[in-house]
């Protein structure tokens, strides 16, 4: 069949791995230690459960330990989430969810919702920690966590990780901790278990347009240009609102295997060298491609000022970055509210090149130094990932009321958001929704099988020694490089100004410091 044949070349995209969190503020110091709540774990006696080695080398037991860890006394933790609490979520938190928390871990969970604009370093969560406002956990990503660690905001969770995550250790890959390790400690508990190999390295396109124009594959930048031109001529769509430094674009510009690290710096995965992007042939090729697209009317004039969150889903563009084969979940539902017949697919430019895994999962729970309940937080996260029953409950609600299981797949009755589905979802235990076809699940479950760890896997940059240089470089990159990467400014008249201004801003110091840290990181691997 045609679709089965295509599956070897393309894959489906999504928001299971959706965009989350940002970066920093100054604050109080920390000794890196952590305190636990005063409710000791109860020893229920009986036969011990099967013991298993954790990622740090200590052993934990499975089911019997999970039950024996339930504290004797009731306590309460406050968990910060972002967005708005839906009416159904509020109802469940007052009833079924709360009862499960009490029954399983003898802990009441209170949620505090902040706007998404507050997430990331420098937002309200950092201010809450700096001012001593009490809360016990909040979601975080590696970039934000690195900033918070450097400011002394986060607890070292090593002891609670070894003790209070027995089910987590069975259902989540321990390499998830690597993005949150600093100086021998672990400063957040990741959640979820989803493929991340090649994230943002695929291009997500309109498969219905591909079929209509008679294309069955996109494997080169020339193929992408042909598709974009046809989509513009026949459907009036711009090519994209993403810049030319998108990973799927750079993947097609040369034979080198480059992975982005930070502003203006990429890593050559084969030579282990840091690459100054503005000095690279890949930068020139990408800019010239976008210059050509802009002249042909494929790049929107408002590419740098657009305020629409997802132009692709709004039927304004014909492609965007893909996310680990899950466009079926991430992009199609929103797009189909505008174009009901739309279908999406992901393709690798240069499919013969290696696929790299840059992170395990970018969402975790931080515990601020102001909390004394790290043990309760660990039990809470463990419960969210305990088994299929719990994962489905917190992501989908009560079976029979909020969803039905049909042939092993979730058919939603309630469409209001509960605990973020993309956060909870664990490919080992979660039931897929009806949107996941059997064909998709076959691809998704093995998505990471051939992925190689990026050299930067688990590496976080400490910018404290180059804060001034970084601020200036970030500003200049936005001012001078981004218009080139948007196709609005041509390469030849502008590249020398970009290089000169970045040099004056301290580029050599910036690059040397990051190189030093990266060399130390590689030496310790």
Does residue 30 have a pLDDT over 60?
A: no
- Per-residue burial over 13-27, b = 16 or more CB atoms within 10 Å of its CB, e = otherwise: bbbbbbebbbbbbeb
Three-state DSSP state, 210: helix
The span from the CA of 185 to the CA of 197, in Å, is: 25
To the nearest 10 degrees (0 to 180), the angle between helices 96-105 and 374-384 is 120
Question: CA triplet 63, 107, 417: central angle to 5 degrees?
Answer: 90
φ, ψ dihedrals at 46, nearest 5°: 85, 180
| DSSP state at residue 317 | B
pLDDT digits 0-9 by tens, 505-520: 999 999 999 999 999 9
The span from the CA of 291 to the CA of 313, in Å, is: 25
The span from the CA of 177 to the CA of 189, in Å, is: 7
Give the pairing of strands 137-140 and 75-82: parallel
CATH 3.40.190.10 fits 58-195+361-453, yes or no: yes
The span from the CA of 208 to the CA of 214, in Å, is: 10
Q: What tokens were used for 356?
A: 């790299």
Q: How confident is the model at residue 32 (pLDDT cuts 50, 70, 90)?
A: very low
Contact assessment for residue 220 and residue 349, using Cβ atoms and an 8 Å cutoff: yes
Cβ neighbour number for residue 280 with a 10 Å cutoff = 18
Provide CB contacts within 8 A for 12, sequence distance 6+.
Answer: 325, 326, 327, 328, 329, 344, 345, 346, 440, 443, 444
- Per-residue burial over 472-497, b = 16 or more CB atoms within 10 Å of its CB, e = otherwise: bbeebbeebbbbbbbbbbbbeebbee
Give the pairing of strands 75-82 and 107-114: parallel
- Per-residue burial over 74-95, b = 16 or more CB atoms within 10 Å of its CB, e = otherwise: ebebbbbbbeeeeebbeebbee
Cβ neighbour number for residue 235 with a 10 Å cutoff = 15
Comparing 237-246, 391-400, 445-454, which segment has the lowest mean pLDDT? Answer: 445-454
pLDDT digits 0-9 by tens, 116-142: 989 898 899 999 999 999 999 999 988
H helices within 50-201, ranges in order? 63-68, 87-94, 96-105, 124-131, 142-150, 158-164, 166-171
Contact assessment for residue 15 and residue 331, using Cβ atoms and an 8 Å cutoff: yes
CATH 3.30.465.10 fits 2-11+198-352, yes or no: no
Three-state DSSP state, 307: coil
Q: What is the CA radius of gyration of the chain?
A: 24
Provide CB contacts within 8 A for 338, sequence distance 6+.
Answer: 313, 314, 315
Percent of the chain with pLDDT over 90: 69
Contact assessment for residue 54 and residue 382, using Cβ atoms and an 8 Å cutoff: no
The span from the CA of 146 to the CA of 141, in Å, is: 9
Instruction: Name which residue leads in pLDDT, 298 or 69.
Output: 298
pLDDT digits 0-9 by tens, 412-445: 999 899 999 889 999 899 999 887 888 888 888 8
Q: How confident is the model at residue 318 (pLDDT cuts 50, 70, 90)?
A: very high
Q: In the structure, how many helices (H) and strands (E) does the chain have?
A: 22, 20
Does residue 85 have a pLDDT over 80?
A: yes
Q: Residue 7: name the closest of 340, 484, 495, 441 by CA.
A: 441
The span from the CA of 366 to the CA of 80, in Å, is: 10
Q: How confident is the model at residue 491 (pLDDT cuts 50, 70, 90)?
A: very high
pLDDT at 176: 85
The span from the CA of 174 to the CA of 183, in Å, is: 17
| DSSP state at residue 479 | I
Q: Residue 154: name the closest of 171, 165, 138 by CA.
A: 138
Comparing 22-26, 181-185, 217-221, 444-448, which segment has the lowest mean pLDDT? Answer: 22-26
Contact assessment for residue 188 and residue 145, using Cβ atoms and an 8 Å cutoff: yes
The span from the CA of 325 to the CA of 432, in Å, is: 14
Give domain limits for the chain.
2-11+198-352, 58-195+361-453, 466-524
Cβ neighbour number for residue 361 with a 10 Å cutoff = 24
H helices within 446-494, ranges in order? 467-476, 482-485
The span from the CA of 459 to the CA of 179, in Å, is: 7
pLDDT at 133: 93
Q: Residue 366: name the closest of 92, 131, 147 by CA.
A: 147
Residue position matching structure tokens 């050599």 = 508
pLDDT digits 0-9 by tens, 266-308: 999 999 999 999 999 999 999 999 999 999 999 999 999 998 8
The span from the CA of 508 to the CA of 510, in Å, is: 5
φ, ψ dihedrals at 143, nearest 5°: -65, -45
Topology match between the domains 2-11+198-352 and 58-195+361-453: yes
pLDDT digits 0-9 by tens, 86-106: 999 999 999 999 999 999 999
């Amino acid at each position: 069949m045609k679709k089965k044949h295509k599956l070897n070349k393309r894959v489906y995209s999504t928001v299971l791995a959706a965009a989350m969190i940002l970066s920093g503020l100054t604050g109080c110091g920390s000794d890196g230690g952590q305190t636990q709540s005063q409710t000791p774990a109860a020893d229920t006696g009986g036969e011990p459960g099967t013991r298993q080695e954790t990622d740090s080398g200590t052993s934990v037991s499975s089911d019997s330990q999970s039950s024996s860890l339930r504290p004797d006394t009731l306590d309460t933790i406050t968990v910060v989430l972002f967005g708005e609490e839906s009416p159904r979520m509020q109802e469940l938190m007052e009833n079924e969810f709360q009862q499960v928390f009490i029954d399983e871990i003898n802990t009441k969970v209170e949620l505090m919702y902040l706007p998404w604009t507050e997430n990331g370093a420098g937002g309200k969560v950092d201010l809450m920690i700096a001012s001593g406002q009490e809360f016990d956990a909040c979601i975080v990503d590696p970039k934000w966590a690195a900033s918070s660690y450097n400011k002394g905001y986060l607890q070292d969770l090593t002891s609670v990780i070894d003790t209070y995550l027995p089910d987590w250790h069975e259902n989540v890959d321990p390499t998830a901790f690597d993005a949150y390790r600093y100086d021998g400690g672990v400063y957040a508990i990741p959640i979820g278990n989803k493929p991340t190999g090649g994230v943002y390295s695929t291009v997500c396109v309109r498969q219905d347009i591909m079929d209509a124009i008679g294309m069955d594959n996109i494997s080169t930048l020339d193929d992408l240009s042909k598709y974009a031109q046809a989509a513009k001529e026949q459907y009036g769509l711009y090519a994209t609102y993403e810049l030319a430094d998108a990973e799927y674009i750079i993947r097609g510009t040369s034979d080198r295997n480059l992975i982005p690290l930070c502003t203006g710096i990429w890593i050559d995965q084969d030579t282990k060298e840091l690459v100054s992007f503005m000095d690279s042939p890949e930068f020139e090729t990408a800019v010239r491609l976008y210059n050509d697209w802009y002249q042909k009317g494929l790049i929107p004039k408002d590419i740098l000022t657009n305020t629409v969150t997802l132009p692709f889903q709004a039927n304004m563009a014909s492609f965007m970055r893909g996310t680990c084969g899950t466009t079926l979940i991430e992009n199609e539902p929103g797009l189909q509210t505008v174009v009901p017949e739309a279908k999406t697919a992901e393709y690798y430019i240069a499919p013969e090149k290696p696929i790299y895994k840059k992170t395990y999962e970018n969402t975790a729970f931080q515990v601020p130094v102001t909390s004394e309940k790290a043990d309760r937080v660990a039990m809470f996260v463990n419960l969210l990932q305990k088994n299929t029953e719990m994962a489905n409950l917190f992501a989908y609600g009560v079976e029979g009321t909020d969803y039905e299981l049909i042939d092993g797949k979730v058919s939603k009755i309630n469409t209001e958001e509960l605990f973020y589905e993309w956060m909870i979802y664990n490919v080992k235990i979660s039931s897929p929704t009806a949107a996941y076809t059997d064909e998709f699940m076959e691809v998704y479950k093995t998505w990471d099988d051939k992925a190689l760890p990026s050299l930067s896997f688990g590496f976080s940059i400490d910018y404290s020694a180059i804060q001034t240089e970084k601020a200036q470089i970030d500003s200049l990159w936005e001012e001078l490089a981004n218009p080139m990467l948007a196709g609005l400014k041509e390469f030849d008249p502008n590249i020398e100004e970009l290089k000169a201004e970045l040099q004056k801003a301290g580029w050599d110091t910036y690059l040397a410091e990051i190189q030093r840290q990266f060399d130390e990181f590689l030496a310790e691997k």
